[in-house]
Structure 1
């Protein structure tokens, strides 16, 4: 099917899906000990659980980039954003087309140009999409500036079976962060902040940050007006090194003033407790940071053994913890969108490539 017809079909599916994209929530997770109480917010645990089970369902087939399951997830997200009433900001509704090519059957995925895609054989072209929305800022003097809030909705798809399971659901990585950004959208739609917020659901993080690299070619708001980026990744379980229940850490905390700004505002985050893992340069914040935008990741990943395994399933997550971290993410976004612009600390900005 030609791409423009495919996009029309996707848009039609979104219009039909708004009221029918939330199956029943799954079973209760095992209880965990609450180590560090955090003030309750407005996010509802039932909403978090339901959306997580949707995105990490077997029917999403691991949300591989350029796959049927990845497209199904993109349609789901667009339908949710439309239901929340936030503005589309893609090049076709909520969808931003990411030109992805494969070097042969089962080969490496890479970004291409539109002209190159037109010359490739059909079996080399992968239809991949970022999902992008906008909440316009309310302040006449700051509304032209933007904060980008993102998560990657892709995972690694279907792969080698482990104990009979070949679907790599990616519940923590990164359906958890994706649900967080949906909840940020819900909160901001009810009470927009002073700066514009771009809600960015990236594809292709697992195969070279393809969606983010393409967004930087075609940003919704010019990068010199994008004042900060906050990405959310792997918040589905408490991390004892971050203080436990309801608390997270910020990658590259001291690289910019963002960590200090959020801490001063009461956001329950700490310095990344595992600097040797170099998490700051391993997610979708990195390309933004290399372009000069102070951009970090909020996480509570405790190096669990389900990482990139079929066992990263919805029932393994702690939804009470996750709900509290999402409340913290909303607080963080409002702080960035309403307050001072974060700045790089000396030596903190990574080198451009």
Structure 2
């Protein structure tokens, strides 16, 4: 009886000791569900007023990168940034950015000298030449220009910017150097943003927008009238941008060398230079705090599950808005062989649903260019083709940096062409958090499949950029 009671006591003691040990070594779950509270917390930090719009190359952009890096650390990712001051790898990569040569002043000579007011009734979008002059030629879209002429191009009042820029590009490719376009509805709506842009000295072509009044003046001039503009350029100082980078190394001895990159851009437009604006903070909630949060939440979910067979990099790029400097640097200094780069999914503007597609649905830019989207859709991803092909979104995000090098790279989005794009009104109050949470969560299992399969996506015939 005494021995039996002793055995019972010993067993109870072992159980008491073992319970804390078991609790200290929990088993990883297969999938961590994306929670709205986490999405909200990250969005409120990145897109809050305190972050001052995360302007490219500003201290606030760096704070955003450091914050995202700290989240990656918390989720258990491996650091993949620079070496820190004590020789340890960090989660942030500093990217040097050479100062740009930008337009500093602009004036007209001759008959227009007193009528042109730089950034008031005339703005530049592309500028390659300091001296622009030639006979005026008034054209409509599709008509042919004479060599050496300065073209005044009339576009439809409701023409979208992509159409306008396409018409300009066609003229430049045919030999025209300078194109002037009277502002239509969309250009007028975005005039303040266009006036604030730093216009970098380009390699080919000059694109100038004028307001309705100056456009009317030019339209009233005779074909062949001499037009002469002169631009002054200045050199901006060198600066930096920052990428936040974490990774999960694959578990399979062979497949671990193959790499998938999930990315977004963490910067936005910062503070408006126009002191007359009531709200000067461009919070960039949808563009692209939402994409950065998507990358963070996918990192949280995938790190909490079983290790994928392939390696996954989670990257939030800096200075996409200023020229894609973060993604270009990442590509130029790839931490793995380029031939092992399986695919890139860029997440951009996922904070609001697009009424052009069914509810709880995302779309993929360049869907028909490769078989990646279709394969992810087969595995449960609610992905459809981009319903706005005329906007050329495939070429307008960091994915294109990789796609141009032959890497399968697309952007995941649900941007419905809302009017808050690149305006101070792109704020947290406009975000549909339920949609955003479901959207991110819907990508977890398809990406788990991609990261642990041997499927290698391929370009469709003739679809490679």
TM-score (norm 1): 0.81
Report the CA distance between 1:101 and its aligned residue. Answer: 2.6
Unpaired runs of 5+ residues, structure 2, are: 1-30, 84-89, 105-197, 202-235
Matched with 2:458 is: 343
CA separation of 1:187 and 1:68: change in aligned 2, threshold 3 A = same
1:251 pairs with 2:242: no
1:268 pairs with 2:268: no
Query: Which whole-Å CA distance do the structure 1 matches of 2:200 and 2:266 have between them?
Result: 17
Query: Which whole-Å CA distance do the structure 2 matches of 1:84 and 1:196 have between them?
Result: 16
Matched with 1:51 is: 42
CA separation of 1:266 and 1:309: change in aligned 2, threshold 3 A = same
Matched with 1:194 is: 309
Query: Which whole-Å CA distance do the structure 1 matches of 2:92 and 2:199 have between them?
Result: 23
- Give yes or no for contact 1:257–1:345 (8 Å, CA) kept in 2: yes
Larger radius of gyration: 2
- Give yes or no for contact 1:229–1:296 (8 Å, CA) kept in 2: yes
Matched with 1:5 is: none
1:127 pairs with 2:240: yes
How do residues 73-88 of structure 1 correspond to structure 2 at under 5 angstroms? 73-88=64-79
Report the CA distance between 1:329 and its aligned residue. Answer: 2.5
Matched with 2:148 is: none
- Residue 89 of structure 1 is aligned with which of 66, 69, 80? 80
Report the CA distance between 1:318 and its aligned residue. Answer: 0.3
- Give yes or no for contact 1:180–1:329 (8 Å, CA) kept in 2: no
CA separation of 1:162 and 1:147: change in aligned 2, threshold 3 A = farther
CA separation of 1:228 and 1:103: change in aligned 2, threshold 3 A = closer
Matched with 1:32 is: none
Structure 1 runs (4+) greater than 3 angstroms displaced: 103-110, 160-163
Aligned residues: CA RMSD: 2.1
SS at match of 2:71: helix
Query: Which whole-Å CA distance do the structure 2 matches of 1:68 and 1:89 have between them?
Result: 21
How do residues 208-219 of structure 1 correspond to structure 2 at under 5 angstroms? 208-219=323-334
Q: Deviations over 1:47-66 (max 9, x none)?
A: 10110010001111111111
1:146 pairs with 2:259: yes
CA separation of 1:108 and 1:213: change in aligned 2, threshold 3 A = farther
- Residue 155 of structure 1 is aligned with which of 268, 275, 287? 268
Query: Which whole-Å CA distance do the structure 1 matches of 2:101 and 2:463 have between them?
Result: 40
Q: Deviations over 1:202-238 (max 9, x none)?
A: 0111111111111111012222101010010000011
TM-score (norm 2): 0.62
Report the CA distance between 1:243 and its aligned residue. Answer: 0.8
- Give yes or no for contact 1:100–1:109 (8 Å, CA) kept in 2: no
- Give yes or no for contact 1:102–1:108 (8 Å, CA) kept in 2: no
